[in-house]
Amino acid sequence: MKTIIANIKMNQTPSESKDYLMTIASKNDERNELIVCLPFTSLSVGEFLLKGKNNLKLGAQNICDEEKGAFTGEISGAMLRDAGADYVIVGHSERRSKFRENGRSINKKIKIALKNRLGIILCVGESLTEKNTSKTNEVLKNQIEEALKGLYENELENIIIAYEPIWAIGSGKTPLAKEIDQVAKYIKKVISEDFSNKAVTRIAYGGSVNLKNANSFLKCKNIDGLLIGSACLDPNNLLQILSSIGE
């Protein structure tokens, strides 16, 4: 079974999410796990429409790195859990660059998410300059080690690491499937060196995934899922991607 993560980003009002999720929930073939990461304001609609549905999970897109208190405008782990979220995205490159999130804060967010029994989608990825100067592995190792610092090995099973090259997000460009597979293999190596070779982590690929390329990425030995942005905004396109898996 593969895991498909739909990142809605800052799109959809609650009423739009309702229409979107009704289409998805009524036509999803349930063969693979689908995690729909909605804006905070759509989570209650998501909980109402997705709860109890086979292989359909609800995700949020961010979490505060503090537990509670005087943090105006922030959303806590407990709030997400109570609102029905099963997962939360942490460390997306848009948050790292536009909202200046750093490794320390990402590590705190992961710990708070774990404490609140949320699954985590941890995004990591290199910039184009880093890729062109052969720094991909080094950058990923640093991002992963900062994010997972102080975690117990058994907590890793709650984490999906999404490899999202920054240059591939929203650009229409992607690495080759075999390059993605090599990076995923490297990430698994880092995890087994830092924890043990029994550590379980799922690896997803994200960045300009569409109906044409999704299946070729999912055929990679080391890839367990996909994180999809713009191509998931049309529910019928997302359903087509889901039904094409394994073809």
Phi, psi of 123 (to 5 degrees): -95, 135
For the bound state, the minimum distance from the C-beta of residue 202 to ligand PGA, rounded and expressed in Å, comes to: 16
Q: Which residue is nearest to ligand PGA (CB)?
A: 229
For the bound state, the minimum distance from the C-beta of residue 133 to ligand PGA, rounded and expressed in Å, comes to: 23
Query: Of 48-56, 105-113, 146-154, 204-212, which segment contacts ligand PGA by CB under 6 A?
Result: 204-212
**Contact criterion met (CB below 8 Å) for 77 and 116:** yes
74 as an active site residue: the answer is no
Binding residues among 102-161 for ligand PGA as defined by CB under 6 A: none
Structure tokens at 148: 């997972």
Would you count residue 213 as binding ligand PGA (CB under 6 A)? no
Binding residues among 168-187 for ligand PGA as defined by CB under 6 A: 169-170
For the bound state, the minimum distance from the C-beta of residue 124 to ligand PGA, rounded and expressed in Å, comes to: 12
Would you count residue 209 as binding ligand PGA (CB under 6 A)? yes
Exactly one of 46, 125, 165, 207 binds ligand PGA (CB under 6 A); that residue is: 207
Would you count residue 46 as binding ligand PGA (CB under 6 A)? no
User: What letter would DSSP give residue 52?
Assistant: T
Q: Of 223, 244, 242, 218, nearest to 232 (Cα)?
A: 242
Structure tokens at 120: 């985590």
CB nearer ligand PGA, residue 9 or residue 81? 9
Exactly one of 230, 237, 243, 245 binds ligand PGA (CB under 6 A); that residue is: 230
For the bound state, the minimum distance from the C-beta of residue 217 to ligand PGA, rounded and expressed in Å, comes to: 12
CA distance 132 to 92: 21
Exactly one of 28, 32, 107, 208 binds ligand PGA (CB under 6 A); that residue is: 208
Residues linked to residue 230 through DSSP beta bridges, in sequence order: none
For the bound state, the minimum distance from the C-beta of residue 198 to ligand PGA, rounded and expressed in Å, comes to: 29
- Residues contacting residue 70 through CB under 8 Å, at least 6 positions apart: none
CA distances from 94 to 12, 128, 154 (A): 18, 15, 29
Exactly one of 175, 229, 238, 242 binds ligand PGA (CB under 6 A); that residue is: 229
Helix (H/G/I), strand (E/B), else coil: 41 = helix
Residue 225: exposure state from Cβ atoms within 10 A (0-12, 13-18, ≥19): buried
Residues that bind ligand PGA in the complex, under the rule CB under 6 A = 7, 164, 169-170, 206-209, 227-231
Which residues participate in catalysis according to the annotation?
Answer: 92, 164
